Amino acid sequence: MCICKYSISIAKNSGFCFGVKRAIKITLEAAEQYKKIQTIGPLIHNPQMVEKLKANGVNYVSSIDNVKSDSTVIIRSHGITKGAYKDLSDKKVKIIDATCPYVAKTQQFCKELSENGFQVVILGDRNHPEVVALESFVKSKAIIVSSAEELPHANYKKLGIISQTTQTFDKFSDLANKAIAMAKEVHVVNTICNATDIRQQCTLKLAEKSDIMIVIGGKNSSNTKMLAKISSSVVCTHHIETSDELDMKWFEGNHKIGITAGASTPDWIILDIYNKIIERLCGRNLQVADIEEIPGYKEE
């Protein structure tokens, strides 16, 4: 794309994952149809996208108590607890469910395993909204662990092992191995979504062949922060939210530039940063309008 001394590439699968893309699409379509749209907590962890949604009449509240009775509520990709769903139904608000289908499937596994007498063990972050919601689908009490070491020693009869969608496979297999040694019957359902893992692997690959990496995404986005951490373990890395933070001094002597973005980073922010880098470094006003035109980009 660039004919000057710089090469600028983007990591494969950068930006929105399937579930986030779907939730945004559902929300923007709803915004065309309904007036007061609310979400419980921000729809995604990206301040610029939250502002854009606000401009389209989509606001977030911190709890169900603050939901107005004449509003339309969008359920985020993380899903909500069964209790929260009932509270919303009792308020008689219009509910549009944008729970990621992979998360919804995991909720279903929680329900089925517990109904079939399995002690459900969830690998995940107990405070994360996805895990809080998953727990509510377990009939009896779920055991939530952040690693295999946290699984309490006991003689379990039947253990059902599932995972928050964004956990790593290594941690999950450690937990499954430990469970097998502790119970007569173990049912393991791999509910890990590979969107996170794929983004991390692609970022690492690009970082290894770059002189400098630009990681784009919310400073409050844990998946973007993880990409920045992985990238900075191999090469000089800058984590930015918008093109305003670009500093051209970063690129002095660094000609191979890699770009990556978290699963909650919208395409228009990635494109804006890419176009600004080209314009300032190469003096060319390409104005690439589609992320797929950036060298290296491919969604799998």
Question: 46: helix, coil or strand?
Answer: coil
d(CA 235, CA 57): 41
Residues 19-38 that bind ligand F3S (CB under 6 A): 19-20
Nearer Cβ to ligand F3S, position 183 or 192?
A: 192
- Catalytic residue chosen out of the listed positions 112, 130, 149, 185: 130
State which of residues 67, 74, 100, 206 lies at the interface with ligand F3S (CB under 6 A).
Answer: 100
Query: DSSP string of 172-196?
Result: HHHHHHHHHTTEEEEEE-----HHH
Q: Name the packing angle between helices 129-136 and 101-115 (round to 10°).
A: 40
Nearer Cβ to ligand F3S, position 1 or 96?
A: 96
CB of 277 vs ligand F3S, minimal distance in Å: 27
CB under 6 A: which stretch of 18-26, 51-59, 145-153, 269-277 binds ligand F3S? 18-26
Q: Is 252 a catalytic residue?
A: no
d(CA 159, CA 180): 8
- Identify each DSSP E strand in 199-270 by its residue range: 212-216, 236-240, 256-261
* Residue 264 sits in the site that holds ligand F3S (CB under 6 A): no
Q: How many CA atoms lie within 13 A of 91 on its CB side?
A: 19
CB under 6 A: which stretch of 37-45, 83-91, 171-179, 190-198 binds ligand F3S? 190-198
State which of residues 9, 14, 164, 196 lies at the interface with ligand F3S (CB under 6 A).
Answer: 196
d(CA 22, CA 57): 18
Give me the residues that bind ligand F3S (CB under 6 A), please: 17-20, 77, 100, 102-103, 165-166, 193, 195-196, 263
Which active-site residues does the annotation give?
130
